[in-house]
Amino acid sequence: MKAICLSTKEDPTKRPEFAIPSLALKIGYGIKKCAAIERGQALRRGDLGKNKKYMAFLHLLNLEWSVRISSNALSTLYTRKKECSRFIAYH
């Protein structure tokens, strides 16, 4: 995920910036959807072990995705929108 989404302009003192921030947000939604589908299939088969693993994965994803990915992606989108409006205002 990091290799796909993060830009190469990483500065350790700044918040990570995404090359394609909307992609990061869409990937998160897709991962959650796939894990939920797999969890449903495990429940239909009666595989409680896999269900427990998918529940733990979804819980971890919900805990960390917003902090590590979506907040940075939304920040990148906001920064670019602000920069774009400044550029348009000067021309």
Which two three-digit tokens encode residue 22? 């909307």
**pTM of the model as a whole:** 0.69
Any idea where the domains of the chain sit in the sequence?
28-90
Question: Distance between CA atoms of 79 and 21, rounded to whole angstroms?
Answer: 11
Question: Distance between CA atoms of 6 and 43, rounded to whole angstroms?
Answer: 36
Q: What is the pLDDT of residues 49-71, one digit of tens each?
A: 999 999 999 999 999 998 888 88
Rounded to the nearest integer, the mean pLDDT of the chain is 83
Which two three-digit tokens encode residue 65? 């995705």
CA nearest neighbour of 35 among 9, 63, 60, 8? 60
